[in-house]
Structure 1
Amino acid sequence: MKLLLVPTLLLCLFSLFRSENSKPLSEDSPIVTGAEQIDAYLPYLQGKKVGMLVNQTSIIGNKLSVDSLQSLGVAIKLIFGPEHGFRNNASNGDKVADEIDPKTGIPIVSLYGKKNRPTPEEMAQIDVLIFDIQDVGCRFYTYINTLRDAMQSCAEAGKELIILDRPNPNGFVDGPILDMKLESGIGRFPIPITHGMTIGEFAQMINGEGWIANKQQCKLKIITLKNYTHDMDYILPVAPSPNLNTQQSILLYPSLCLFEGTIVSQGRGTYMPFTVLGSPALKGKYDFTFTPKGIQGMSENPLHKDEVCYGLDLREYDLKAYRKKGHINIRWMMDLYKAYPVKNKFFDRSQSKQMGDIDKLAGTKLFKEQIMAGKKEKEIRKSWEPGLSNYKEMRKKYLLYP
């Protein structure tokens, strides 16, 4: 179906759609996402061939934005799928293949496999690209990398990127600034662990700080949030990835993902990932136990698979105090390292292929050294202060919300 160009018919169709599908994310939430403001961006799509970089979090009311916009006659030519795929059917780190979406018949191009951004040939098939993905506000969460890559493709092709902004559930700023000598797929930008920006704000920073190759500029149109501030609690309506399947896991993620650089399990291979911590070697130190198993679509070969792990149950942990301070929790890292019986194995990646690089996750080699040296939390945090101060000053230029 071709896009209706007659304004009165278009607005009539939109009004009917909005009444059925633009339900609030929660009854208590005053926030209106960019995607929900269809009247703000639908006119820019008239008569254009559209690409959409989206996943299962890209919703309008109770429908995926691809399905919603296609039903309005938007000419969607390509869907670009990031890590975990378009409909969230791939495990962490799994390569995602190109396919045809069975529901819409639209080709899906994977950006998490052989390539990480749209090619010139793919960009030639569209006039505009929409980016609508829920981020969780962490440096090591890969969707900000996907954003930068999409901006580069748009800049090179001279195409506009429309960002449908969404709230950041971890809207505070904390952690060491990435040492760019440690740049990797889990850290591409000189920012702290929690950057305190929405995806729209971060896109402005990418442009403003010249983080696209050859300092190219991407033409941006950001559909901003309504009724949003960075200090608001925001409950995600859809899990952003298979192992962030509860609100508690999303809020704990900035603190617990650091443990991927240790021999301590973060609960991958259970139905409570990123809400528990433990290791078989901590038997006798902690009473709480869990046993990781292979779970299809979540974690098929987790750390300590089929081994009983002893550690911490954080599912009911009250995060209000830390969130009020705007801090990630590093006490758990300090305490579990202290309790671990063989200290030289705690960060040793030769223990398991499932272990990540703690230096790349933390963004600095100093953090591991501080933990091993038994430094106090206050001293560790003090070492972050100069970098955080500079970052916060830089960040101010790109904020769209108080």
Structure 2
Amino acid sequence: MLLGSERLLASNRLKGLNVGILANPASVDRDYRHIVDRLAAAADIKLAAIFGPQHGFNSDLQDNMIETPHATDPKRGVPIFSLYSETREPTKEMFDPIDVLVIDLQDVGARIYTFIYTMANCLQAAAKTGTPVIVCDRPNPIGGLQVEGPMLEPGYESFVGQYPIPMRHGMTVAELAKLFNEHFGIGAPLEIVTMEGWSRAQYFDETGMPWIMPSPNMPTLDTAIVYPGTVLFEGTMVSEGRGTTRPFELIGAPYLDADALAMRMNAHGLQGVYFRPAVFEPTFQKHAKTPCGGCQLHVTARETFAPVIAGAALIRECIGLAPDQFQWREGPYEYEHEKMPIDILAGSPQLREQVEAQVPVAEIAASWTKGVADFEALRAPYLLY
């Protein structure tokens, strides 16, 4: 398999240009060579600016809503512009030194992962300035076949969901760029460099590529597989495992009985997953230094595992097990002050209302069917593989 970045650098397309690059530590090739290093080493390319997404160019900041400062790269002497700072869209001044912006970011396949909206914001800025944008494609690490979850509804747009797509979208970053730019009308001068040798059924560990953490709490492919569902716990006061070595795989709270929660979850008979009772102690974030009862998700068959319904079922059972102690997280969340964080994450109040009412899990999943089918038809013209 060849990445889009490898094909771009082999093409001499950037010869003689002042290049800006949007990247982070995961922007490497199969030989662990970082795209910034390769651009800086090229004799006929001038690296003019670096742009960093959420968590920073070095991906060293842990949490949401911790803004990353602008800086100067000490090795190369070029500016590093943070796009998770006082601005999330590049300014004209940021684009002034560059002839073209190259985007090489590793997405994880979930609507709420902010890198795809940093890309969209760059396209919006490029549409205003006329700056060409080249998006280098990378694998969707959890495959490009399965689509799942509730749709984002109008009025619930945020930096964790700018466009009406389902929670698990099944698209690559370049496919999303085309969808945003064409269907949603951004209209930037966009060029796509596709991969060679990637198929939609492939998970990341089948590509031969090294897994580099795209963000601080995405340590492994296992994390990415469960993330589209268990990230919903960011909208609750139940720990999503931040502060442990298994974020998003461990779910729990001090008041939950681990055996009871795991038993309730396994009783649903969800495909491709086993819920093992677990007690864990986060080192930071929710319930830091306090033992939490809960469970760990063990994915036994990822092709049949549906992470979003698993996450919804887990919230439902946490409420059912301890209705007087379960709490929704209060705002603000991603600078949104008026709406509940869970509604921002889910894309509407519907999921919250369903789990509060203890709607059967199968009925919750069925409520997504039409939205998913409509999206699959919508995305079809933008699929590249």
Bin of the TM-score, shorter chain as denominator length: 0.7 to 0.9
Aligned match for 2:317, one of 313, 317, 335: 335
**Cα drift, residue 207 of structure 1:** 1.5
In 1, Cα distance between the equivalents of 2:303 and 2:72?
46
Larger mean CA deviation between 144-153 and 377-386 belongs to: 377-386
Contact preservation (8 Å) 1:244, 1:250: yes
Query: Displacement of 1:279 after TM fit?
Result: 0.2
Q: Distance in 1 between matches of 2:67 and 2:237?
A: 25
Which has more radius of gyration? Answer: 1
* Alignment match, 1:297: none
| Cα distance per residue 1:41-94 (max 9 Å; x no partner) | 4x2211111100111111132121000121122201000111111121212222
How many Å separate the matches in 2 of 1:139 and 1:110?
21
TM-superposed deviation, 1:327? 6.0
The number of equivalent residue pairs is: 354
Q: Distance in 1 between matches of 2:39 and 2:358?
A: 54
Give the distance between the partners of 1:38 and 1:374, measured in 2 at CA.
51
Letter in 2 for 1:81: G
User: What amino acid is the match of 1:222?
Assistant: I
1:211 Cα deviation after fit: 4.5
Q: What secondary structure is seen at the aligned counterpart in 2 of 1:263?
A: coil
Residue 90 (str. 1) matches residue 61 (str. 2):
yes
Aligned to 1:58: 27
Q: Residue 321 of structure 1: CA displacement?
A: 5.1
Kindly state the Cα deviation for residue 40 of structure 1 after the two structures are TM-superposed. 4.7
- In the other structure, the counterpart of 1:362 is 346
Q: Which amino acid aligns with 2:87?
A: K
| Cα distance in 1 between the residues matched to 2:3 and 2:279 | 40
Query: Structure 1 length as normaliser, TM-score?
Result: 0.83
Equivalent residues of 1:67, 1:104 under 8 A apart: no
Rounded Cα–Cα distance in structure 2 between residues aligned with 1:241 and 1:37: 25
1:135-172 deviation per Cα after TM superposition (whole angstroms, max 9, x unaligned): 01111100111011000111111121111100001332
Cα distance in structure 2, aligned partners of 1:163 and 1:228: 16
| Separation of aligned partners in 1, 2:9 and 2:161 | 36
SS at match of 1:320: coil
Q: What is the CA–CA distance in structure 1 between the aligned matches of 2:4 and 2:289, rounded to whole Å?
A: 43
Structure 2 counterpart of 1:359, one-letter code? D
RMSD (Å), alpha carbons: 2.2
Quote the Cα distance in structure 1 between the aligned partners of 2:356 and 2:181: 38
Residue 44, structure 1, aligned to residue 13, structure 2: yes
Residues 178 and 152 of structure 1, relative CA distance in 2, 3 Å threshold: same
Note the C-alpha offset of 1:226. Answer: 1.0
Give the distance between the partners of 2:323 and 2:364, measured in 1 at CA: 23
- Mark the runs of 5 or more structure 1 residues left unpaired by the alignment: 1-30, 295-301
Is the partner of 1:281 in helix, strand or coil? coil
2:228 touches 2:307 (CA, 8 Å); kept in 1? no
Please give the TM-score of this superposition, normalised by the length of structure 2: 0.87
Supply the distance in 2 between the matched residues of 1:327 and 1:275 (Cα, whole angstroms). 13
For residue 156 of structure 1, the aligned residue among 113, 118, 128 is 128
Query: What does 1:282-321 correspond to in 2, within 5 Å?
Result: 282-283=256-257, 285=260, 288-294=278-284, 302-314=285-297, 316-320=298-302
Indicate conservation of the 8 Å contact 2:329/2:340, yes or no. no
Q: CA deviation at 1:105?
A: 2.1
User: Is 2:164 the counterpart of 1:195?
Assistant: no
- Is the 1:261–1:357 contact (alpha carbons within 8 Å) kept by the matching residues of 2? yes
With over 3 angstroms needed to count, the CA separation of the structure-2 counterparts of 1:211 and 1:292, relative to structure 1, is farther
Does residue 120 (structure 1) correspond to residue 92 (structure 2)? The answer is: yes
